[in-house]
Structure 1
Amino acid sequence: MIHMTLKILPMIGSGELSSVHAAYWKNTQSKFAIKKFNKTSREKEIINEINLMNMVDFHPNIWNYER
Structure 2
Amino acid sequence: ATAGTRKIVSATNIAETSLTILGIRHLVDPGLSKQAIFDPQTGMTTLELNAISQSSATQR
- Report the TM-score when normalising by structure 1: 0.31
Query: In proportion to residue count, which structure has more helix?
Result: 1
Query: In proportion to residue count, which structure has more strand?
Result: 1
Bigger RCO of structures 1 and 2 (CA < 8 A, at least 6 apart): 2
- The higher radius of gyration belongs to 2
- Report the TM-score when normalising by structure 2: 0.33
